[in-house]
Amino acid sequence: MSDLRSFDVELIHQPAYLDPQTSVLPTFALLQQDGKLYPGAEAPKLSKELALKIQDTFLFIRALDERMLASQRQGRISFYMTETGEEASDICSTAALDSEDLIMAQY
């Protein structure tokens, strides 16, 4: 895993609106490489149950991707797009929804 500090980026630890005159897009980061919060960052309020469900979903999607990609490469299915590296955008977005909310997904 690369260290964000090795690139020329601005790290922010609180969500903020961007100045429309700037061309710099800051990177929102809560955790440092050692897993500790950045000074000034606030951890989201998550129950232990929800945090474990999010982690379980990450692991499930990674395992599913590996199996489906292997099946595609073996010719057992014709097409599959992996989500490797993009899991958080889907998992964390849907974690904020209620169980009754409808999701209509497509790529």
pLDDT above 80: residue 19: no
11-19 long-range contacts, CB within 8 A, separation 24+: 11/38, 13/37, 13/38, 13/39, 13/40, 13/41, 14/40, 14/41, 14/42
Tokens of 25: 């897009």
Q: What is the pLDDT of residues 46-92, one digit of tens each?
A: 899 999 999 999 999 999 999 999 999 999 999 999 988 888 888 98
pLDDT at 9: 66
What pLDDT is attached to residue 85? 85
Q: What stretch of H or E contains 62?
A: helix 48-73
Instruction: Report how far residue 91's alpha carbon sits from residue 53's, in angstroms, rounded to the nearest whole number.
Output: 10
Question: For 24-35, what is each residue's pLDDT tens digit?
Answer: 677 788 889 998
The model carries a pTM of 0.62
